[in-house]
Amino acid sequence: MYAPNQWFEITLVGTCAGQDIINHFYYAQPQFIEPYEGSILDVGNDFASIVLPDLVEVVSTSTIFTELLLEEHVSGSAVASYSILGGGGGLRVGESMPPFVAWGFKSIRTSREVKSAQKRIGVPVESDISVNDATPGALTLLGALASALERPFSPANSGVTGLVPVAITRVDTTVTPHVKRPIPLFEAILDWTYSKVTSQVSRRRN
């Protein structure tokens, strides 16, 4: 684990059948690397071009994304934010599952100090699920999304890695009682994998 001086939080906000669909994604400079040279808008553009195209392929047309909220943190404080209003949505045609149903993804952790990160991406269509799991066709699309979630972001025209996806640890469990860390600790995520059909009810911030 390490505490980068600079990191970004991306919040993708959507709705389906009146229920909010919210996911948080975290990116930070790799350990021992200089600060990211791109702008906060570059981060949003990278997410929109690298992750979103595969994400919308696995959710129903009833899922509408309304906002992409970007926050830049330096030395533990939010120093910049930017909101991109949406209006686009999922591309999977068919009867949508109830809005609490989601595709579950899990990161492969590289350290026991960091819990595996999880993502719940919704909402699937009924035809992509069989016997409570993804159909072969859906698995192909979910694998593509897992690969997109692993990809780093690079400053425009730089050709170098600027930000990598990370798992975040906000609470210090080495002391009793546990306390919130002033600066979260991070671990680079090297691998995401589809895990199961799951629920967005009582979801954790992840």
Helix (H) / strand (E) element for 33: namely: none
Percent with pLDDT over 70 in the chain: 87
The Cα 198–Cα 206 span in angstroms is 15
Does the structure show a pLDDT above 60 at 122? yes
> For the chain, what is the domain count?
1
Does any domain span residue 172? yes
Cis peptide before 123 (omega within 30 of 0): yes
Does any domain span residue 130? yes
Q: Which pLDDT score, from 0 to 100, does residue 32 have? A: 65
Q: What is the mean pLDDT of residues 180-198?
A: 89
Does any domain span residue 26? yes
Does any domain span residue 206? no
Q: What is the mean pLDDT of residues 137-165?
A: 86
Q: What is the mean pLDDT of residues 162-186?
A: 85
Q: Which pLDDT score, from 0 to 100, does residue 203 have? A: 46
Q: Which two tokens stand for residue 178?
A: 């546990």
Q: Which two tokens stand for residue 94?
A: 């068919």
Q: Which pLDDT score, from 0 to 100, does residue 95 have? A: 97
Q: Which pLDDT score, from 0 to 100, does residue 102 have? A: 97
- Higher pLDDT among residues 67 and 155, named by residue: 67
Does any domain span residue 204? no
- In this prediction, residue 173 has a pLDDT band, given cuts at 50, 70 and 90, of confident
Does any domain span residue 10? yes
- In this prediction, residue 205 has a pLDDT band, given cuts at 50, 70 and 90, of very low
- Higher pLDDT among residues 197 and 206, named by residue: 197
Does the structure show a pLDDT above 70 at 157? no
Check: pTM over 0.75? Answer yes or no.
yes
Q: Which residues, other chains included, contact 105 with Cβ-Cβ below 8 Å and sequence gap of 6+?
A: 118, 119, 120, 121, 142, 145, 146, 149, 192, 193, 194, 195
Does any domain span residue 1? no
- DSSP lists the bridge partners of residue 68 as 12, 84
Q: Which pLDDT score, from 0 to 100, does residue 37 have? A: 78
Alpha helix positions (H), 79-202 = 136-150
Question: Which residue range(s) make up the domain with 172?
Answer: 6-199
Report pLDDT digits (tens) over 49-87. 999 999 999 999 999 999 999 999 887 788 888 888 776
Does the structure show a pLDDT above 80 at 204? no
Does any domain span residue 78? yes
Q: Are 204 and 104 in contact (CB under 8 A)?
A: no
Residues found in the chain: 206
Does the structure show a pLDDT above 60 at 206? no
The Cα 102–Cα 59 span in angstroms is 9
The Cα 126–Cα 98 span in angstroms is 9
- In this prediction, residue 88 has a pLDDT band, given cuts at 50, 70 and 90, of confident
Q: Which pLDDT score, from 0 to 100, does residue 87 have? A: 67
- Higher pLDDT among residues 51 and 178, named by residue: 51
**Coil, helix or strand for 143?**
helix
Q: What is the mean pLDDT of residues 198-202?
A: 76
Q: Which two tokens stand for residue 196?
A: 């199961």
